[in-house]
Structure 1
Amino acid sequence: MPRRDLPPPPPPAHLRAWLDEGQVRADRARFLQDLGRRSLGIGRLLLLWAVAAVFALGWSFVGMALGAFEAGDPVSFVLGLVFLVVGAGVLIPAGFWFAWGARRDREVRRLLCAWGEAGRDPAVDARMRAPGRSLTWLLTSCGLGAAGLWVTFGVAVSARPGEETYAEVAYYMGLGMILWITALLGAAKAAAHYRWALRAVRPARTA
């Protein structure tokens, strides 16, 4: 997956004293803005949902495999194996994609923390709080989580023997779990960024 390199870490404190203060402040402002966009931008939210959509697609093939296995005849069994292989072929790359994104997020957060502590700039620090972006992540995640919980528990409660098969119930419960786990990740990311902003970019204490 093509990507631009992340900003470099800030220079050590004992070297910053020898550098131009205005340049350091300009670098800090530019890098914090870039890192904040990478961490909590709309693009990151859409990427999280895209990963969840790929997981849902893979789980759909697994659900079709379960339904085929439940039918019990040889042809359905062969189709079930095909669906299962296709589902695994979708879910495994999605897992690697998710792991790559998690590592990327940890690196972005490490750089955010480092640059946030590399001096203070009230105007830049106020923008880094990004309450609008945090609220967007939180509200959309709450809506997605509510939908996931409704799918997970609503199907389980309303299922009736003879009307829904075990494969259908398992599919919808798994789909609901994908939705609310995605929502939990989004809400946790928004809350973590806002806590970091309040702690890391607060005004420096005066003696």
Structure 2
Amino acid sequence: MSNLPPPPPSPAEFRSRPDREARLAERALVLDVLGRRLLGIGRLTLFLVWLLLLEFGWGLVGIALAAFGGGGGADPLTLLFGLFCGIAGICALTPAVWMTVRGVLRDRVARERLVQWAVLDSDPPTDARLRAPVLSACWLLLSFALCATGLWASFAVAAHTTRDNGGYPLVVYGMGAGLGLWITGLIGLAKAVAHYRLAIRLTGRPGVRSTSSGLPRPE
């Protein structure tokens, strides 16, 4: 995929290069790039931008639901405004969902390439940087907050909504908004946990890749 380092050479070709310092420098550079691609500030910013766009689009759909939820009592201008908001909301939701799914797929490829490059050799200082404890904690705490907020929104809106204060349109909107937060939070949690486990495997024992860890042992 674009903007990702290429797959590594074969282990035999990589180790055949005479200058090990140059090999380690290349490996360190690629691992740093892939680490930023997975957990960096730029990736986190995009993660939040697509979440905001998703919630904004669903908010417009919620306005449409409220407009059409009035049934025959709604005036034509309100229905027209609701139709406009519904179309605009779908236009915002489509790229948000697409880019979120695309980000998950690209993260999977980046993680696979990180493993492929990491098992070519061992360099404790470089491998230790992969843990990125501050960024990992940011992803973990933020994602947990999104999951908690999403679950609370889904159940709180449904529990406190009656026919007189919003009815079914508000329930549908609240549960949809909460579901978006919850799913996005799960994606972030899965990313943070997977990266932490991978970094622990890589840094657990310099120069050795245990077969039980799922990482091959370098020759």
Distance 2:187 2:3 in 1: 24
Q: Label 1:48 to 1:41 Cα distance change in 2 as closer, same or farther (>3 A).
A: same
* TM-superposed deviation, 1:4: 7.0
Alignment partners' CA distance in 1, 2:2 and 2:22: 22
Distance 1:205 1:90 in 2: 48
1:6 is aligned to 4
Between 63-72 and 155-164, report the one with greater CA deviation.
155-164
Which residue pairs with 2:138 in the alignment? 136
In structure 2, what residue type is equivalent to 1:38? R
2:18 maps to 1:23: no
Q: Distance in 2 between matches of 1:102 and 1:132?
A: 21
Shift of 1:201: 4.1
1:118-129 → structure 2 map (5 Å cutoff): 118-129=120-131
TM-score using structure 1 length: 0.90
Report the counterpart of residue 92 of structure 1 in structure 2.
94
Gaps in structure 1 of 5+ consecutive residues: none
State the match for 2:115 in structure 1.
Answer: 113
Bigger RCO of structures 1 and 2 (CA < 8 A, at least 6 apart): 1
Instruction: Please name the residue that 2:33 is paired with.
Output: 34
Residue 139 of structure 1: how far off its partner (Å): 1.0
Conserved? CA contact 1:125–1:202, under 8 Å: no
1:100–1:205 Cα change, 3 Å: closer
- Conservation of the 8 A alpha-carbon contact between 2:143 and 2:188: yes
Q: Tell me, what secondary structure is at the counterpart of 1:10?
A: coil
Q: Give 1:205's aligned residue.
A: 208
Give unpaired runs (5+ residues) of structure 2: 210-219
User: Where in structure 1 do 4 or more consecutive aligned residues deviate above 4 Å?
Assistant: none
Whichever residue aligns with residue 17 of structure 1, its letter is R
Counterpart residue number, 1:156:
158
Amino acid at match of 1:195: R
TM-score by length of 2: 0.85
State the percentage of identical aligned residues. 42
- Measure the CA separation in 2 of the matches of 1:100 and 1:164: 35
Q: 2:60 & 2:163 partners in 1: Cα distance?
A: 23
Deviation string for 1:163-198 (max 9, x for gaps)? 232111211221111112111111110000011112
Q: How many residues align?
A: 204
